[in-house]
């Protein structure tokens, strides 16, 4: 495919249930996350630190416990990209995108009313490959600063924006 020799990689399965109200959408898991089979497995990624600050999800707890805690808060996780080619973990290296079936997923999870894009690449990929999800009636969306270590914004500044999740959860009660 255009001389790009990276192998096709498949993303992770969604973490959500029928009570999920917020869906945090990344672009595509890092190499470390794919190897671990866990969202945000890179310890330098600030996602779990953000969840700890906002929802008291212990960032040092087991992955299963962190996921169960997020689900308890009615927060799900997934990515915009189902599979792609990529050398390394950088979003800029992503090629040959196949998007996840977001519209169908949202139809099967009607309680999800909010989409939080974890960074500009996740939002831009949704705009390019699944624009219909941005127009779904009753579903709001917002791009948040990436939790990636490559996005060099202090945690405190990221936290200000990520507080949107708390507001959305309060609105949904």
| Residue 100 annotated to the active site | no
Structure-block tokens of residue 41: 């497995």
Q: What are the DSSP calls for 41-58, one per residue?
A: -STT--HHHHHHHHH---
Of 83, 90, 82, 119, residue with least CA distance to 30: 90
- The single residue of 10, 42, 45, 118 carrying the catalytic annotation is 45
Task: Count CB atoms within 10 A of the CB of residue 75.
Answer: 27
Name the residues annotated as catalytic. 45
């Amino acid at each position: 495919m255009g001389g790009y020799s990276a192998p096709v990689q498949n993303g992770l399965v969604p973490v959500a249930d029928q009570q999920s109200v917020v869906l945090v959408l990344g672009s595509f898991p890092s190499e470390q996350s794919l190897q671990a089979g866990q969202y945000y497995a890179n310890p330098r990624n600030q996602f779990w630190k953000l969840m700890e600050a906002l929802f008291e999800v212990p960032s040092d707890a087991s992955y299963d416990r962190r996921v169960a805690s997020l689900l308890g808060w009615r927060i799900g996780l997934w990515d915009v990209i189902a599979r792609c080619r990529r050398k390394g973990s950088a979003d800029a290296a992503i090629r040959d995108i196949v998007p996840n079936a977001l519209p169908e997923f949202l139809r099967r999870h009607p309680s999800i009313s909010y989409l939080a894009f974890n960074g500009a690449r996740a939002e831009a990929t949704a705009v390019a490959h699944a624009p219909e999800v941005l127009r779904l009636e009753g579903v709001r969306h917002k791009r948040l600063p990436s939790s990636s270590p490559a996005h060099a914004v202090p945690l405190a500044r990221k936290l200000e924006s990520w507080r949107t999740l708390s507001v959305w959860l309060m609105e949904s009660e």
